[in-house]
């Protein structure tokens, strides 16, 4: 079948490991289903896979088909969206706490292909309120944004949320969901274009990256890491919550414990979300009339253009590949 895959790890030149071509059709294990992919969205995780960066100590087994997220149809024609978090068959409860959890393109082939396979429970029937295009962006960045906001940040409606970064898939999801939830949404961006886009999407205020803010926020959600972490900590009100969901510019950050102690900050990590989080988010999006921001739609054959734009920092919102 047609697929977009990583041939090897290429830390400094990830596009050299990107291949668009043929891969074997997947076998479908008992209890799994095959999804004919119509839409699949790009995540920075796909660049990490090309670079050989993995959160799992086992590492990545190449070649591997890329892609975490997808929408498409089952063999019986049912339209579905993929919930990406898979794990041990015996695990019960919060999927993100399962020691064996993983997402497509880590231990099993990913979604940038004619077909992808997932455990049956991971194929969520698509409600009529959601198009496959918009559903295809929800699995990773949007799900993570939802959990960070509603489970991990402790924010209540009316309180101030600071989102670090404005243009990315995660940042745009945080802006749109935060606005729908009634938070005051503040954003930072490296560019005036990013700040203007954030305001157009619903941010109440936008500021240049690392600039001092007029007052302090109740929570900061940060996916940038090294370049923004210190600014986020210094932007928090007493009792506030810095939530880290990623480290695009590096995971190793300087940490001054004094404000953590004196301001009683609760440093919090957040990753992906539960199946229930995903279903709740789909309901919220439908009821609040949120349409996820999509910056580019490309036929999957032209995936390299989308990867290159992300590597060079030229994307905004989500990039979706169609089949
Ligand atoms: N915890 C989880 O489960 C989870 C899930 C999804 C993603 N993530 C992580 O979240 C991060 C963002 O993912 P994404 O898919 O949203 O990526 P993306 O679309 O490429 O967005 C990158 C974001 O980082 C900001 N940024 C600041 N400095 C940057 C720099 N030097 N280079 C590139 N970007 C910079 C950009 O903001 P401006 O351009 O506005 O400054 C933009 O908002 C990644 O580290 C990813 O691994 C984590």
What does the pLDDT read at residue 100?
94
Q: Quick one: pLDDT at residue 238?
A: 98
Answer positive or negative: Cα dihedral of 112, 113, 114, 118: negative
The confidence score (pLDDT) of residue 88 equals: 86
- Asked if residues 265 and 236 have their Cβ atoms less than 8 Å apart, the reply is yes
Q: What is the pLDDT of residue 145?
A: 98
- Atom 25 in ligand 1: which residue has the minimum CA distance? 165
The pLDDT value recorded for residue 56 is 86
The best mutation among 223, 225, 281 to test binding of ligand 1, ranked by most ligand atoms within 8 Å of the C-beta, falls on 223
Pocket of ligand 1 (CB under 6 A): 43-45, 140-141, 144, 165-171, 189-191, 194, 209, 223-224, 227, 245-249, 270-272, 310, 313, 315
Low-confidence ranges of the chain (pLDDT < 50): none
User: How far is C-alpha 317 from the chain's CA centre?
Assistant: 11
The residue nearest atom 31 of ligand 1, judged by CA position, is: 249
Report the pLDDT value the prediction gives residue 313, as an integer from 0 to 100: 93
pLDDT tens-digit map of 4-20: 999 999 999 999 999 99
Query: Which of 14, 40, 42, 44 for mutating ligand 1's site (highest number of atoms within 8 Å of CB)?
Result: 44
């Amino acid at each position: 079948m047609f697929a977009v895959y990583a041939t090897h790890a290429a830390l400094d030149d990830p596009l050299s490991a990107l291949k668009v071509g043929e891969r074997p059709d997947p076998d479908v294990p008992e209890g799994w289903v095959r999804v004919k992919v119509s839409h699949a969205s790009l995540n920075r995780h796909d660049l990490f896979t090309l670079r050989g960066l993995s959160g799992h100590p086992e590492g990545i087994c190449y070649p591997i088909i890329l892609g975490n997220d997808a929408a498409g149809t089952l063999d019986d024609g049912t339209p579905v969206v993929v919930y990406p978090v898979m794990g041990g068959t015996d695990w019960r409860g919060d999927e993100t706490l399962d020691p064996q959890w993983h997402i497509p393109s880590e231990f099993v082939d990913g979604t940038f292909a004619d077909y992808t396979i997932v455990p049956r429970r991971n194929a969520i029937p698509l409600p009529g309120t959601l198009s496959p295009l918009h559903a295809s962006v929800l699995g990773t960045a949007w799900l993570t944004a939802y959990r960070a906001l509603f489970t991990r940040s402790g924010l209540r409606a009316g309180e101030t949320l600071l989102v670090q970064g404005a243009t990315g898939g995660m940042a745009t999801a945080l802006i749109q969901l935060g606005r729908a939830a009634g938070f005051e949404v503040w954003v930072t961006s490296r560019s005036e274009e990013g700040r203007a886009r954030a305001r157009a999407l619903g941010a109440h205020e936008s500021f240049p990256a690392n600039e001092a803010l007029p007052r302090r926020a109740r929570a900061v959600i940060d996916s940038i890491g090294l370049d923004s972490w210190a600014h986020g900590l210094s932007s928090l009100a007493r009792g506030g919550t810095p939530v880290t969901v990623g480290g695009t510019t590096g995971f190793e950050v300087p940490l001054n414990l004094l404000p953590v102690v004196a301001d009683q900050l609760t440093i919090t990590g957040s990753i992906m979300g539960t199946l229930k989080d995903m279903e709740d988010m789909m309901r919220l999006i439908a009821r609040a009339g949120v349409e996820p921001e999509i910056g580019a739609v490309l036929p999957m054959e032209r995936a390299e253009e989308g990867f290159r734009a992300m590597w060079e920092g030229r994307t905004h919102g989500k990039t979706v590949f169609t089949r």
